[in-house]
């Protein structure tokens, strides 16, 4: 049938996924009907790649396979569920936003710890470093 389009190796190179992962995604219902050559080999279109890029972004922002499958099913079911799809994406967006905000707070806390310790080391390595100084830094690690 469709004897043109990209092979699975090409698609892997273009999307950054492995051929294994591409097949796994398809088996798991994450893709929207990749066509085949007469030989039975997969042939990927640019549309397929766009879709794969989208679900890669969803994955990279933490959406579980399960939920991507639900989304893909909704899309495959055709029209009439745009609202449902949108809600899925919007719900994910909110989760990601919260996670991002939380991660940024954690990062700030880690930053503060690094700054504190950088200061402590500077003190240790200053001109008049005492033998007891390293213990202070070690104790501070437990703060």
Partner DNA sequence: ATTCTGCCTGGAGTGCGCTCTAAGTCAAGG
Partner DNA sequence: CCTTGACTTAGAGCGCACTCCAGGCAGAAT
Q: Does 41 bind DNA (CB under 7 A)?
A: yes
Q: Does 40 bind DNA (CB under 7 A)?
A: yes
Long-range contacts made by residues 43-46, C-beta under 8 angstroms, separation at least 24?
43/2, 43/3, 43/4, 43/5, 43/6, 43/7, 44/5, 44/6, 44/7, 44/8, 44/10, 44/11, 45/5, 45/6
With a CB cutoff of 8 Å and minimum separation 6, the contacts of 1 are: 35, 36, 37, 38
Supply φ then ψ for residue 88, to 5 degrees. -60, -50
Question: Within positions 37 to 56, which residues make up the interface with its own copies, using CB under 8 A?
Answer: 47, 50-51, 54
- Which listed residue (66, 106, 126, 129) binds its own copies by CB under 8 A? 106
From first CA to last CA, the distance across the chain in angstroms is 66
- Which listed residue (1, 4, 33, 38) binds DNA by CB under 7 A? 38
Cβ closest to DNA, residue 41 vs residue 113: 41
Cβ closest to DNA, residue 39 vs residue 132: 39
Which residues are near its own copies by CB under 8 A? Answer: 32, 47, 50-51, 54, 57-58, 60-61, 75, 78-80, 82-83, 85-86, 89-90, 92-93, 96-97, 100, 102-104, 106-107, 109-111, 113-114, 117-118, 120-121, 124, 134-135, 137-138, 141-143
């Amino acid at each position: 049938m469709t004897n043109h389009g990209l092979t699975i190796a090409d698609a892997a190179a273009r999307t950054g996924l492995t051929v294994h992962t591409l097949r796994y995604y398809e088996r798991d219902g994450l893709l929207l009907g990749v066509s085949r050559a007469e030989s039975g080999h997969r042939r990927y279109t640019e549309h397929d790649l766009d879709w794969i890029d989208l679900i890669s972004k969803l994955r990279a922002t933490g959406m579980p396979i399960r939920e991507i499958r639900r989304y893909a099913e909704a899309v495959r079911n055709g029209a009439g569920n745009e609202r449902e799809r949108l809600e899925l994406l919007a719900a994910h967006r909110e989760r990601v936003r919260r996670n991002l905000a939380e991660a940024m707070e954690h990062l700030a806390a880690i930053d503060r710890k690094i700054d504190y310790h950088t200061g402590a080391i500077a003190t240790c390595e200053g001109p008049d470093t005492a033998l007891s100084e390293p213990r202070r830094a070690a104790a501070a690690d437990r703060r």
